[in-house]
Chains A and B, each alone.
Chain A
């Protein structure tokens, strides 16, 4: 049975005002896929706080993102995030940022292309308003510039 993270988070952070989780009751926006995924350019984004080489780390209230070259390898990547146990992600980025796996799917034709760069942000950012008003529009611009056909978000 799925773990209930909302009560667990409320308990962990019980010293603080209870977090107001995003709740959307309307039908979500919808853009149908126009072609098979095997023909799509897929943009990958992780919220796991992945960094490429000497990119600056995230800060706690950080709504910035990092661009990760699609051919980055394990040796190029590190993790900065306060909200999950990062050891496994630091040892193998593919646990939360499946960059190598997506390159393989591209090579075998399961997806059309992996967009370059991939993206990462730090999902512990408290303010959903900041994400909505600062981060999301910048990502939309990036995706349009990259001519991404689809967007694949992996949380940590």
Chain B
């Protein structure tokens, strides 16, 4: 929709099957576990490289529907994450509403103290 409104778009993805079905104008695929689309925590060099590559893809993608794949590997010695990502027991249990509300109230207090 944004593209149709006249603004070039690019999305990232780690879920190639989902993105292939959506068929967006421009996409950049990185084979990392969900929740790490632009890198590993506290590794700014890797994050910067991934984002730089995404920005370059804005210029290099010429055909709508192109998905560029980035070369970075999550762990050269361990690919087990690919078997367990998003499988049974992977997601945390949804908290009870009261617990979620309490946590949310505490979060907002913490930030309102920050003024």
A-side interface residues toward B, CB under 8 Å?
1-6, 8-9, 11-12, 21-33, 36-37, 40, 42, 48, 53-54, 56-57, 75-76, 78, 80, 82-86, 88-89, 91-92, 94-98, 100-102, 104-105, 110-111, 132, 136-137, 139-140, 143-144, 148-156
Interface contact A37-B58, CB-CB below 8 Å: yes
Question: How many angstroms between the C-alpha atoms of A111 and B55 in the bound complex?
Answer: 8
Looking at the complex, which one of A27, A84, A139 makes contact with B34 (CB distance below 8 Å)?
A: A84
* A131 nearest CB neighbor, chain B only: B1
Complex CA gap A6/B19 in Å reads 10
Interface contact tally, CB-CB below 8 A? 209
Q: Which of B63-85 contact A (CB under 8 A)?
A: 64-65, 82, 85
Closest CB in chain A relative to B78 CB, distance in Å: 15
Task: Evaluate contact between A3 and B15: CB separation under 8 angstroms.
Answer: yes
Considering only residues 4-21 of chain B, those with a C-beta below 8 Å from chain A are 4-18, 21
From known contacts A3-B15, A150-B7, A151-B9, infer whether A28 and B23 are also in contact, taking CB-CB under 8 Å. Answer: yes
Q: Could you say which residues of chain A place their CB within 8 Å of the CB of B29? A: 2
B75: min CB distance to chain A, Å: 14
Select one of B9, B22, B88, B91 contacting A82, CB under 8 A.
Answer: B91
Contact A96:B36 (CB < 8 A) given known A29-B3, A33-B58, A57-B107: yes
* Bound Cα distance from A76 to B111, whole angstroms: 8
